[in-house]
Chain A
Amino acid sequence: DQQVKQNSPSLSVQEGRISILNCDYTNSMFDYFLWYKKYPAEGPTFLISISSIKDKNEDGRFTVFLNKSAKHLSLHIVPSQPGDSAVYFCAASAPGMIQGAQKLVFGQGTRLTINP
Chain B
Amino acid sequence: NAGVTQTPKFQVLKTGQSMTLQCAQDMNHEYMSWYRQDPGMGLRLIHYSVGAGITDQGEVPNGYNVSRSTTEDFPLRLLSAAPSQTSVYFCASSYSPPLDENTGELFFGEGSRLTVL
Contact = CB atoms under 8 A, between A and B. Distances in A.
A complexed with B: yes
Interface of A: 4, 6, 9, 32, 34, 36, 41-46, 49-51, 54, 57, 89, 91, 93, 96-98, 100-109
Contacts, number: 90
Interface string B27-43: 00001010100001111
B110 A41 contact: yes
Contacts of A46: 105-107
A100 B101 contact: no
Contacts of B110: 41-43
A98 B42 contact: no
Given A32-B99, A36-B108, A102-B104, 14 more contacts: A4-B42, A34-B98, A42-B111, A44-B90, A46-B105, A49-B102, A50-B101, A51-B101, A91-B43, A98-B54, A101-B56, A102-B98, A102-B99, A103-B48
A78 B52 CA distance: 42
Main secondary structure of the interface of A (DSSP, over half): strand
B90 A105 contact: no
Given A43-B90, A51-B101, A104 B106 contact: yes
Contacts of A96: 48, 56, 97
Interface of B: 4, 31, 33, 35, 40-45, 48, 50, 54, 56-59, 90, 92, 97-102, 104-111
A93 B105 CA distance: 11
A34 B42 CA distance: 14
18 contacts: A4-B42, A34-B98, A36-B106, A36-B108, A43-B111, A44-B90, A45-B108, A49-B102, A91-B43, A93-B98, A93-B104, A97-B56, A101-B97, A103-B56, A103-B58, A104-B45, A106-B35, A109-B42
